[in-house]
Amino acid sequence: MAIKQTGDIAAQRLSPDQLSCEFADIAPLLDASAAAAAASRCHYCYDAPCVQACPTQIDIPGFIRKIGNGNLKGAAVDILSANPMGGMCARVCPTEILCEGACVRNHQDAKPVAIGALQRHATDWAMARGEVLFKRAAETGRHVAVVGAGPAGLACAHRLALAGHAVTVYDAHEKAGGLNEYGIAAYKTVDDFAQREVQWLCSVGGIEIRNGVALGRDVSLDTLRHEHDAVFLAIGLTGVRALAMEGEDLSGVMNAVDFIEQVRTATDVGTVPVGRRVVVIGGGNTAVDAAVQSRKLGATSVAIVYRRGVESMSATWAEREFAQTNGVTLITHAKPTRLLGVGGVVTGVEFERTSGEGNQERFVIEADMVLKAIGQTLVPVGIERELLTLDGNRIAVDANGQTSLPDVWAGGDCAATGAVDLTVQAVQDGKVAAAAIDALFARTAVKAA
């Protein structure tokens, strides 16, 4: 079968007013009365399951009680002392499978406490007021290099700076933030929040960010080790898996992460070209973000196609539901077999059903834009092979994030921690590594000048 439509790739499909509406904040900030009402639903559980479900172990009942008592500064301290990127995590965390998914309220009235919204209420309040929440310790004379200014790198830098160590963060991009700046749907983090959070993190002092510096191109690991007391690698996963099939080089076929970055970096989202009929191949959050933004930019038809069932998708049920309520069609149990094109331009994707027995049905979805979201990979430029796992897919680390080198740690998506690839987990990796580095410094004397 074929889903027939006509169209092309173009910009300015919607008016500025329509785009402003489409890319408005999808979860507006709670006002004081709504926050108080939401906080009143918390039971302040002993051994709260929501805390156990949070990778950064935020004292959730504690900060919610403070919000209920009107102590927003205290609530912000509770959150940001455990998770220095609590503002971003309040926006992008899959709370439905973490803290809110574990909330005991789910077993009472099928509606958890709005933990994410309350977390944002407190952190946004503190950041908007410029509240001074933490004081940096005295200078220790130690200097740490952090490679990568994403969630793991920034969390590590913040913790080390608070302990009095000097930190230089090296990042290949023009702006700090990593995936928070370049890889998250624009409707999730409006008003340049990623950069405002970076500024807040650095306001503690002792952190220098050097942009446009790539490991293996502009600086070597050996040089960083020689010039610093420790190195933390948080380089993320910058490679993208290929479909490895006929037609992948056709015009109109691109990586979903590149499309998301185009939207994130555009001064006017209306200038980002999008097809009328878009097919997204994949089943994770990147696929959902790319698909929904395609619809919000004016695509007429958008389909996410995944080779297994919904139970195997890494995108959560809430993300899938959000995509579908925004007009995205979800097609499961179908794998791409080839990309079709005419004159070097993509015209559709042929799929094969992966469910059932016997001869598998093949069908075509016509498309003028195909976005690949089948996973990202480590690009180990500038990293010795002995630092990698046996399959070479990640950097091998111990429970504290330390590599096989005595002065090099790693965390975030690039490291083989065995944990989920989430922003909040990357923050925890940065915290754990910072604690290990600080503990090492405490046991050893400062290097001679």
Question: What does the pLDDT look like over 217-253, one tens digit per residue?
Answer: 999 999 999 999 999 999 999 999 999 999 999 999 9
The residue among 69, 78, 162 whose CA lies nearest residue 123 is 78
Residue with tokens 């794998």: 335
The residue among 267, 268, 297, 295 whose CA lies nearest residue 279 is 295
What are the start-end ranges of the H helices in 83-145? 86-92, 99-102, 115-129
Average pLDDT over residues 141-162: 98
- Tokens found for residue 82: 């455990």
CATH of range 2-24+240-375; options 3.40.50.700, 3.50.50.60, 3.40.50.300, 3.60.15.10: 3.50.50.60
Sheet strands (E) in 284-399: 301-305, 328-331, 334-342, 345-353, 362-366, 369-372, 376-377
The residue among 381, 378, 377 whose CA lies nearest residue 217 is 381
The residue type of 326 is N
Residue 316 has pLDDT above 90, yes or no: yes
- Tokens found for residue 262: 């185009």
What pLDDT sits at residue 421?
86
- To the nearest whole percent, how much of the chain has pLDDT over 70? 96
The residue among 192, 213, 22 whose CA lies nearest residue 91 is 192
Residue with tokens 């500024």: 199
- Do 90 and 82 meet the contact criterion of CB atoms below 8 Å apart? no
- Residue 77 is classified by DSSP as H
Residue with tokens 């083989």: 416
What is the tens place of the pLDDT at every residue in 37-89?
Answer: 999 999 999 999 999 999 999 999 999 999 999 999 999 999 999 999 999 99
What pLDDT sits at residue 246?
93
Number of Cβ within 10 Å of residue 264's Cβ equals 23
> Which of 59-68, 104-113, 164-173 is predicted with the least confidence, judged by mean pLDDT?
104-113
The answer for residues whose C-beta is within 8 angstroms of residue 298's C-beta and 6 or more apart is 13, 14, 18, 274
pLDDT band at 6 (very low <50, low <70, confident <90, very high): very low
CATH class name, domain 143-238+378-443: alpha beta
- Residue 430 is classified by DSSP as H
H or E element, residue 146: strand 143-147
Angle separating helix axes 115-129 and 32-39, nearest 10 degrees: 140
- To the nearest whole percent, how much of the chain has pLDDT over 90? 93
What is the tens place of the pLDDT at every residue in 349-394?
Answer: 999 999 866 567 999 999 999 999 999 999 999 999 999 999 999 9
What pLDDT sits at residue 358?
57
> Which of 205-219, 226-240, 292-306, 345-359 is predicted with the least confidence, judged by mean pLDDT?
345-359
The residue type of 77 is V
Average pLDDT score over the chain: 95
What are the start-end ranges of the H helices in 329-447? 423-443
Within 13 Å, how many C-alpha atoms sit on residue 384's CB side? Answer: 9
The residue among 338, 325, 328 whose CA lies nearest residue 303 is 328
What pLDDT sits at residue 359?
65
The superfamily (CATH) of domain 32-129 is Alpha-helical ferredoxin (1.10.1060.10)
What pLDDT sits at residue 420?
82
pLDDT band at 5 (very low <50, low <70, confident <90, very high): very low
Domain with CATH 3.50.50.60 in the chain: 2-24+240-375, 143-238+378-443
The torsion region of residue 343 among left (phi > 0), alpha (psi -120 to 50) and beta comes to left
- Do 387 and 209 meet the contact criterion of CB atoms below 8 Å apart? no
Domain with CATH 1.10.1060.10 in the chain: 32-129
What pLDDT sits at residue 235?
97
Q: Is 226 exposed, middle or buried (0-12, 13-18, 19+ CB in 10 A)?
A: exposed
What pLDDT sits at residue 422?
94
Residue 147 has pLDDT above 80, yes or no: yes
H or E element, residue 274: strand 274-275
Q: What share of the chain is helix, strand, coil (3-state, %, to 5)?
A: 35, 20, 45
Residue 449 has pLDDT above 80, yes or no: no
